[in-house]
Structure 1
Amino acid sequence: MNLEGLFKTRLANHQKRLAKYLRYVFNDHFVLVLMIALGGIGLSYAQFIQTLSFTHDQTTLVLIGIIAILSCLTLFGKLALLIQPADKHFLSTLENDWKPYIHKSLVYSLCLPSFIAICTVGILYPLFLKMNVVVSFVLCIVMILLKYVDLLRQVWLLKQNRPLKQWQSVVAMMLSSGIVFSLYFFVNIWASVICVGLFIGIMQYSLQKDTALYYWEYIVDTEIKRMNQIYRLLQLFIDVPIFEETVKRRPYLDKCFTKTTRLYYYLYERAFLRGKAELSMSMQLMGMTILLRYLFSNVYLYSGILVCMLFLTGYQLLPMYQHFSGHILLEIAPYTKDEKKRDFQAFLKKILVVQLLVASVLSMLIAFDIRLMIGILIGIVFIYIIFPLYVQRKLDKI
């Protein structure tokens, strides 16, 4: 099997594995809620557009903001190489024949950003009409071509000693995107197309003439991080057994630890604040809740959303109870199972209380309403009375 066939085989296996998980993520209930949410957001957006009116100076400022957003959006999407750890030993000898593999990877990596580009232009199109700005499908093409430039930049970074230059290349990519979009909106549409074509030519010429060897350790680490991001998103909905956990000390969070002699409470706190999956999941749910507060003004509906956030966070954290199971030193420690359950429930209460307080304060800052106290009180009752009963039933079955 050649390298091109190898990529096709790996891509088929990768898509099959993702399809298995997505079947559970996009179930009937989630799709129904998603359709209702998109409908509500679309209606609010249409009503918001109708209330807008722009002067010439305001149009210029809004266009500058849109250029900044589109430039950041260009960085969305990683190069999908589907590399496995063993490849640094077996494929490194075939570097000179790697072009077909890279080409297939570039085409596949461009699919999702292209869809995002088309959706972005469609969402912004009513705003462009309101500002009397002429926009055509050429903007989608420009965005896709800029993403292709970004993917070529990521290929360039895979070479030896290039990872140290990643931030510089990101800044250069954003500036290049800003120049292209500025040409599109303020000079001439075709000038932006010529400019992005020039960037593609420069990147391809640089890669063609580049004789540096690939940095395989960096390639493997980059692919593992990319896959972990996908699995971390899937873990919001379903358990992903092939998810690889990483632990990293965050010194700025050390002050959040509770001084305690309770063994499991001590361990659960550190596992939560130093892991990625659970911490990022709780932050994402809280961010989504605050965003919904911005979109929906109904306080009672938001109170229900707040409770749903607390339940989903607690439900997703339940597997942490088994996080230290099988550890030989903990098995011989003089600690009973009931004490472990007590520590775990205390840990859950602390996380949910902090989440409730942060979400409530930020919601008050977005739109102050004394009736939000109802949602806070319901959340407190849920944390200290209702959810502990549910957790106790679940833990008794383990």
Structure 2
Amino acid sequence: MDTNQLWKERFGHHVKMLSRYLRLMFNDHLAFALIFFVAAGAYFYQEWLEGVPDTFPVDWIMAVVLGLLLAHSPVRTFFKEADTVFLLSVENRLGPYIRNGVIYSLIIQGYWLAIFLFVFTPLYLKIYSGTDAQYLLVMLGVLIGVKIINLLAVWFLDKSRERRLHYFDVIVRAAINIMLVYFLVNGELLYVLIATALIIGVAFLNYWNIYQKYSLPWDALIEKEEARLQLFYRLANLSTDVPDLKRKPKKRHGLVNLVTKPINHDQSNTYTYLYFITFIRSGDYFGMYLRLIGLTIFFIFWVPLFWGKLIFAILFLFVTGFQFITIYNHHKTLDWIQLYPVAQHVRKKAVHQLIFLLMLAKVVVVFVLFMFASDLVDAIIYAGVGLAFTLLFENFYVKARIERMS
């Protein structure tokens, strides 16, 4: 078996899958909203930089963010369940396959390191005004080198099934990486070398104590790979239907009882009950809703100008309504739901009610916090614009999208 060719085939399949779903995820108005978000964020970032004090702890912020990115270094393998049979006999010849996996992981994770370093660059040069801009290239080179070491350390440890050892390794590497980035930001190259030596030591210990002694835990590696794939499917499912998504509901009895108690148990509320429970018990929808509220709160406190706060608040209100339209087809693969003796317009009405209440609840929460981020008059203006936008969005955009999905 040519394991190098096997990697090329699986990588090609992975790229086709990514391109297909990313094209569906960033169509319609979501791509425009993201472009507007990036442009507006860059503008207010520049405005905020003009008033940032010289004592702002950019070194520690960069150390924590970039250090955690360095510590999080999973190696993509694209292993599948059938590999426990077909690849087990060639495990000792998987060197080229694993090497390609490390290179692919380095490219993807190195890209995010470069993005975050690029975002921090204006703030860093503002606080460290005497630093040569070319030093940032040195920083990026060091970060990429340390990322390689972290990837190898994680891969060497992946042969162990001991969860506590994995947790301990993450904590130790995260602490070392954070201190390494802190010294790198401050130009303390001697301490950077010492921290790098410590990371190399961790990788060597993982290799000597784990990698040399054990064989590949195929079931654990396949489970991790499947978890990463399902994470991407869950994100894609917020914008389009993903047939391969494996949904794992959460119990959340308290929230379910709180939400469903006011609903009358009659035939006209069949889909209302179903979709409200789906929203609460599905980690995709409920978790996304909380994160969108959190991002909205962050921007209304961070952006200095009222109209900027208003734009971001309405933008995230649009994203909130847009993302949950897909709940209409959440149970599409369940044939028994089609047996409900309930008209389809009742199903559509239930989705309309859910989206309207979610957007309305978000307007109320942000209205209260707007008073602390600005003042009562600005909060009232936001509430009026938010309510008008919710009514127009729900009655026109959501209605049209659901009709196309039916």
Supply the distance in 1 between the matched residues of 2:332 and 2:14 (Cα, whole angstroms): 31
Tell me how far 1:111 sits from its aligned partner.
0.9
Counterpart contact for 1:296–1:302, Cα < 8 Å: yes
Supply the distance in 1 between the matched residues of 2:219 and 2:307 (Cα, whole angstroms): 52
What corresponds to 2:180 in structure 1?
Answer: 180
- TM-score under structure 2 normalisation? 0.81
Supply the distance in 2 between the matched residues of 1:44 and 1:333 (Cα, whole angstroms): 51
Taking the TM superposition and a 5 Å limit, the aligned residue runs for 1:197-208 are: 197-200=197-200, 202-204=202-204, 206-207=206-207
Counterpart contact for 2:3–2:96, Cα < 8 Å: yes
Q: Deviations over 1:45-97 (max 9, x none)?
A: 3343343443xxx47x5433432232223245532211223223322333322
Alignment-mate amino acid for residue 117 of structure 1: L
Supply the distance in 1 between the matched residues of 2:24 and 2:78 (Cα, whole angstroms): 23
What corresponds to 1:268 in structure 2?
Answer: 275
* Alignment match of 1:345 (pick from 352, 356, 360): 352
* Alignment match of 1:131 (pick from 107, 123, 128): 128
The 10-residue stretch of structure 1 (260-269 or 335-344) with the greater mean CA deviation from structure 2: 335-344
Give the 3 Å change call, closer, same or farther, for CA 295–187 of structure 1 in structure 2. closer
Supply the distance in 1 between the matched residues of 2:316 and 2:36 (Cα, whole angstroms): 18
Supply the distance in 2 between the matched residues of 1:106 and 1:157 (Cα, whole angstroms): 14
CA-atom RMSD in angstroms: 3.4
Q: Deviations over 1:323-355 (max 9, x none)?
A: 335646545555444443443333333322223
What corresponds to 1:360 in structure 2?
Answer: 367
What corresponds to 1:242 in structure 2?
Answer: 244
Tell me how far 1:108 sits from its aligned partner.
0.7
Tell me how far 1:385 sits from its aligned partner.
6.7
Supply the distance in 2 between the matched residues of 1:50 and 1:396 (Cα, whole angstroms): 48
Give the 3 Å change call, closer, same or farther, for CA 183–321 of structure 1 in structure 2. closer
Alignment-mate amino acid for residue 159 of structure 1: K
Counterpart contact for 1:152–1:204, Cα < 8 Å: no
* Alignment match of 1:80 (pick from 63, 69, 76): 76
The 10-residue stretch of structure 1 (18-27 or 4-13) with the greater mean CA deviation from structure 2: 18-27
Alignment-mate amino acid for residue 366 of structure 1: A
Give the 3 Å change call, closer, same or farther, for CA 310–125 of structure 1 in structure 2. closer
Counterpart contact for 2:250–2:281, Cα < 8 Å: yes
Supply the distance in 1 between the matched residues of 2:27 and 2:342 (Cα, whole angstroms): 41
What corresponds to 2:85 in structure 1?
Answer: 89
Alignment-mate amino acid for residue 215 of structure 1: P
Counterpart contact for 1:183–1:191, Cα < 8 Å: yes
Q: Which consecutive unaligned segments of at least 5 residues does structure 1 have? A: none
Tell me how far 1:220 sits from its aligned partner.
1.7
Give the 3 Å change call, closer, same or farther, for CA 338–41 of structure 1 in structure 2. closer
Counterpart contact for 2:272–2:350, Cα < 8 Å: yes
In the alignment, is residue 232 of structure 1 matched against residue 196 of structure 2? no
Alignment-mate amino acid for residue 272 of structure 1: F
What corresponds to 2:381 in structure 1?
Answer: 374
- TM-score under structure 1 normalisation? 0.82
Taking the TM superposition and a 5 Å limit, the aligned residue runs for 1:28-177 are: 34=34, 37-54=37-54, 58=55, 61-76=57-72, 78-129=74-125, 130-132=127-129, 134=131, 136=135, 137-177=137-177
Alignment-mate amino acid for residue 148 of structure 2: Y
Counterpart contact for 2:239–2:326, Cα < 8 Å: no
Between the two proteins, the alignment pairs up a number of residues equal to: 394
Counterpart contact for 1:245–1:276, Cα < 8 Å: no
Tell me how far 1:109 sits from its aligned partner.
0.4
Tell me how far 1:40 sits from its aligned partner.
3.9
Counterpart contact for 1:234–1:240, Cα < 8 Å: yes
What corresponds to 2:225 in structure 1?
Answer: 223
Counterpart contact for 1:80–1:108, Cα < 8 Å: yes
Q: Percent identity?
A: 23
Give the 3 Å change call, closer, same or farther, for CA 199–301 of structure 1 in structure 2. closer
Supply the distance in 2 between the matched residues of 1:33 and 1:396 (Cα, whole angstroms): 22
Supply the distance in 1 between the matched residues of 2:282 and 2:383 (Cα, whole angstroms): 28
Counterpart contact for 2:68–2:178, Cα < 8 Å: no
Tell me how far 1:189 sits from its aligned partner.
0.9
Taking the TM superposition and a 5 Å limit, the aligned residue runs for 1:1-40 are: 1-25=1-25, 34=34, 37-40=37-40
Give the 3 Å change call, closer, same or farther, for CA 46–312 of structure 1 in structure 2. closer
Give the 3 Å change call, closer, same or farther, for CA 223–46 of structure 1 in structure 2. same
Tell me how far 1:110 sits from its aligned partner.
0.8
Alignment-mate amino acid for residue 142 of structure 2: V
Tell me how far 1:292 sits from its aligned partner.
4.0
Alignment-mate amino acid for residue 189 of structure 2: I
Tell me how far 1:301 sits from its aligned partner.
5.8
What corresponds to 1:214 in structure 2?
Answer: 216
Supply the distance in 1 between the matched residues of 2:95 and 2:373 (Cα, whole angstroms): 51
Alignment-mate amino acid for residue 150 of structure 2: D
Q: Deviations over 1:195-233 (max 9, x none)?
A: 314523541463255312322222122112212233333
